[in-house]
Amino acid sequence: MKEYVLITDSSCDLSDAMVKALELEVLPLAFTIDGKTYRNYPDNREMSPDELTRRQKAGSMAVTNAVNVGNAVEAIEPFLQGGRDVLVLAFSSGLSSTYSSFQIAAEELSTKYPQRKVFAVDTLCASLGQGLLVYLAAKLRLEGKSIEEVRDWAEANKLHICHWFTVNDLFFLKKGGRVSAATAVVGTMLQIKPVMHVDNDGKLIKVSTARGRKASLTALADKIGELADPAPEKQVMFISHTDSYAEAEQLAQDIKARYGVQEIHINHIGPVIAAHTGPGCMAVFFLGKHR
């Protein structure tokens, strides 16, 4: 048993199999749809991504709930009581108050358990961008790096996690206030697709546009050639999607063919992000010179 625990939240979008392999603790975030609240576990035990997409296509809107301080304390304290230290890698503060809750909890529990170490890192990442940072940090932990070494690595490298997204339906971005009603109408008519990323403040912003779905997916792959560092063939990359597995598989094959990438993991975008992007969202994550 490792001397410290690595905790994250379910906005990391890592698969249940990967969570278990990496020996992670994942706090499920909550979302409400059709008047009922569900928790987003990595094994999707309360609602599957396909069911969420079905409801969205039927017109339902999901509302997400951040972790509160009480949730954070409940996630951390049992490990401290058991004599283990805790490192939290939390969802971007630019998109949620989850990190703030973890940070307050860490400060309170550090006072209550002065003999234990409790650290919280604002990843400034989302979806499998957060997942990629957690994955790489967990690998270091399994290699025997100390809690301070892994914390410092995460702080030093989090702004090198590149997140590139596109969506198929602009009306979900309109509902979330990301684009105007006029932009959604005109963009849909002309098949204009936004190309977005998560910036250094951990916020999802539009960077450019592409004409048509195929061009938007190519634009995501192009960013690897522009930004990847170390070289793409030396990296593990992640792709996340909503209701677009066949396209995600094809995009992975295209990236492998273009850049010689050997290992790409694909998983669904969880409800925290999918609530705002809707069906047809696609995202690519990799290490870069900068975001």
**Listed residue (276, 291, 282) closest to 31, CA to CA:** 276
pLDDT digits (tens, 9 = 90+) for 192-221: 888 999 999 999 888 999 999 999 999 999
pLDDT of residue 1: 59
**E strands present in the chain:** 4-9, 25-27, 29-33, 36-40, 63-65, 85-90, 118-122, 161-166, 192-198, 204-211, 236-241, 263-268, 282-287
With a cut of 70, say whether residue 232 has pLDDT above it: yes
**Tokens coding 8:** 């994250």
Within its chain, how far is the Cα of 278 from the centroid?
15
Q: Cα(30)–Cα(212) distance, rounded to whole angstroms?
A: 33
With a cut of 60, say whether residue 226 has pLDDT above it: yes
pLDDT of residue 128: 98
pLDDT of residue 186: 57
pLDDT digits (tens, 9 = 90+) for 84-138: 999 999 999 999 999 999 999 999 999 999 999 999 999 999 999 999 999 999 9
DSSP state at residue 42: T
188-203 as b/e, with b when 16 or more CB fall inside 10 Å?
A: eeeebbbbbbbbeebe
pLDDT of residue 277: 83
Q: Cα(154)–Cα(137) distance, rounded to whole angstroms?
A: 7
Work out the end-to-end distance of the chain between its first and last CA atoms, rounded to an integer number of angstroms. 35
Three-state secondary-structure class, residue 50: helix
What percent of the chain has pLDDT above 70? 92
* Residue ranges of domains in the chain, CATH in brackets: 4-159 (3.40.50.10170), 160-287 (3.30.1180.10)
Query: Is residue 85 a contact partner of residue 145, using CB atoms and an 8 Å limit?
Result: no
pLDDT digits (tens, 9 = 90+) for 2-11: 789 999 999 9
Higher pLDDT, 144 or 2: 144
pLDDT of residue 206: 86
**Tokens coding 199:** 């910036």
pLDDT of residue 188: 66
Q: What is the mean pLDDT of the chain?
A: 93
With a cut of 60, say whether residue 237 has pLDDT above it: yes
Query: What pairs with residue 27 in β-bridges?
Result: 9
